[in-house]
Amino acid sequence: MTIAVRHMLLMLGTSLLLCTVSGCGLFREVSNSSTEDAAPLFETDPVRYRTDIVVKGGDGDSAGLRSAMEQHSQLILLKDQLPDGMIGLMRRARLDRENAVKLMHSLGYYDGTAETDVDDPPHPGEEAAVTLTLVPGPRYRIGETSLSYRPSPTPLPPFPGITPDPVPQALPLQQGAPAEADDVLSAIDEIPPALHRSGYPEAAVSSSRYTLNRTKKTLNAEVVVDPGPASVMGEAQIRGTEKVRPEYLQGLVTWKDGAPWDDRRLQDYRRELQSLGLFRFVDVKAAPTSQGEKTGTPADSPLRLPVLVDVRESSFRTVSAGARYATDTGMGVLGEWQHRNLFGAGEKLTLKLPFAQDKRGVQADFEKPSFGNPDQKFLAGTSYLKEETDAYDTTAVNAYVGLERELSPSWWASAKVFTEAGTVTRGSKDEYRYSSLILALRRDTRNSIMNPVRGTYVQWEASPTTGYYNGNFSGVSTKVTASGYYAPFDDDVLVLAARTSLGSFLGVSINNIPPSLRFYCGGGGSVRGYAYQAIGPKDHYGDPRGGVSFHEVNLEARFRVTEHIGIVPFIDGGMVYEEEYPRLFRDFQWGAGLGLRYFTPIGPVRLDVAVPLEKKSDDRGYQIYISIGQSF
């Protein structure tokens, strides 16, 4: 075929194709149509709507069911995100209908059905109407439940002084109670942890079967549990340590060797290791049964399982600094260096360098944990400090040694021998020295030290003291401090905080008590609005003289306005007395003010502005305090 013939046939085919298409009218229709005449197949303009949830019939709580649906309704939760046209709205309504049926089933309405009705807007630009109708029907109740073990749990051997929790014999479900899915599943989920506390660390649910009795309107449950081997607690196998001695960590275990297995002891041990500040990662778990050893000759005798402890050490040295400002004491800076694993067993050495208008010097504190007992610490320290206040100027060296014992998770007791010697200037320069045996007992249930929102704190101190200042003296100093914190709402938007302190120095004339041992009131940690140590008796120069006893009260209402901002109205009161026993609430001087809090991960930054309510001639009209952490 020649090239000319090919070209002729191509042109002929093209002409026939164009004629065919033209005969279909396609070219003619497009050429005769316009944009204004074209109508869209679907409407995609956002449509506003209102939602009405209706509950019909049922023998349960209609209002509660409606409220629950409102919390799960896509129509309500996404109301501000308008759907694209009526098609999008109907799709959203269909999802709500499906969710409504699932919600009713989860709440025990297993015969429940739901319908949706979507009405077009009556006029362009107006709202569409969506009605979601729930027909819950009768609410099912808990019927017959059974809990069985396959195989049967192997009995544990007796252990002196320890009685393990009994093995659960029934599901913690009350017959006749509403058959809510969450309650049923939670009850079943409680069985393995209960067995983990009762000597069976590998207990697990083998099978669970649920049936509905449509006639009696009940939900029946059958649960089968494999208890696993009975086990007792073995040694802690420490892994991952480099500079921390494993024997130190083994000495902190919270269980006795051979005691019935109890997962709570593992949780306590994990918290103990995390509180040391030595590790960035801690994992405590039971070893596989393949690593266990039989405790007796019978084949079914319990296993002695070791506890696997995996840790990753963190840096033991830290350098930190803090700052404060108050109109009465000026600017203060505190530098700190700390080593938390000095000799490989969690020994803590802290060096502090305070530098402020009222205090300068150096301080060292040493702490040796697990000293003779896992719950006991050895304490020691010394300092060289210069203090310059309106009440006195001192230059002193002191030292202490002592023990602190944890009596329970919230109780501590301590005993320290403290001695100090130096010079004090009050008009004239005098020497002083004294030694004290400081006995203390405290209870602390606060959820946080820097920003407590619940719990209480109580501390009592008694210090028999003997020394020399303007003559020999001997007496007993006592002090009690108590604070409490209450959050009336679950979101901690408001915290009510209160503190009171009182103390007395018995058996000594005020003229023989070194000025640094006397009691004072006033300042940022006491009665705000008054200068540091300004409340109470004055000497003939008009300077604070201090007292033999005192009483203080602090009240705060801590409002959290946003995630990071809070405001704190407060009122403080207190007085120092020259008598041995404080006259409670007598002759108080009160201060009041408003605080601003900026919450950070390490604690709130505090700004307090306070005024004295009983202003004396030498009192300023206001005081400002800036620091980190709540005032108490």
348 shares its domain with 441 = yes
Q: How many domains does the chain have?
A: 4
Give the residue from 313, 333, 351 where a domain finishes: 313
Residue 273 in domain: yes
Q: Give the helix ranges, DSSP H, for 111-208.
A: 181-189, 191-196
Find the mean pLDDT for residues 386-410: 95
Q: How confident is the model at residue 45 (pLDDT cuts 50, 70, 90)?
A: confident
Q: Indicate the pTM of the whole model.
A: 0.76
324 shares its domain with 344 = yes
Q: Compute the distance between CA of residue 73 and CA of residue 54 in angstroms, rounded to an integer.
A: 13
213 shares its domain with 349 = no
CATH, residue 98: 3.10.20
How high does pLDDT run on average in the chain? 91
Q: Compute the distance between CA of residue 592 and CA of residue 570 in angstroms, rounded to an integer.
A: 6
Residue 110 has pLDDT above 90, yes or no: yes
- pLDDT number for residue 471: 95
Residue 622 in domain: yes
Which residues are registered as beta bridge partners of 421? 397, 433
**Per residue in 48-83, pLDDT tens?**
999 999 999 877 688 999 999 999 999 999 999 999
289 shares its domain with 331 = no
Find the mean pLDDT for residues 186-195: 96
Residue 27 has pLDDT above 70, yes or no: no
Residue 28 has pLDDT above 80, yes or no: no
Give the residue from 258, 288, 313 where a domain finishes: 313
217 shares its domain with 331 = no
Sign of the torsion angle spanned by Cα atoms 341, 342, 348, 349:
negative
CATH, residue 182: 3.10.20.310
Residue 36 in domain: no
419 shares its domain with 513 = yes
DSSP 404: E
**Per residue in 253-307, pLDDT tens?**
999 999 999 999 999 999 999 999 999 999 999 999 889 888 776 767 899 999 9
Give the residue from 313, 345, 373 where a domain finishes: 313
Residue 38 in domain: no
543 shares its domain with 464 = yes
Q: Compute the distance between CA of residue 462 and CA of residue 91 in angstroms, rounded to an integer.
A: 74
Q: How confident is the model at residue 44 (pLDDT cuts 50, 70, 90)?
A: low
Find the mean pLDDT for residues 583-612: 95
104 shares its domain with 153 = no
Residue 40 in domain: no
Q: Give the helix ranges, DSSP H, for 107-210.
A: 181-189, 191-196
Domain that holds residue 240: 231-313
198 shares its domain with 220 = yes
Residue 19 in domain: no
Q: Compute the distance between CA of residue 322 and CA of residue 628 in angstroms, rounded to an integer.
A: 8
493 shares its domain with 547 = yes
Residue 398 in domain: yes
477 shares its domain with 618 = yes
3-state class (DSSP) for residue 215: coil
Residue 20 in domain: no
Q: How confident is the model at residue 43 (pLDDT cuts 50, 70, 90)?
A: low
540 shares its domain with 497 = yes
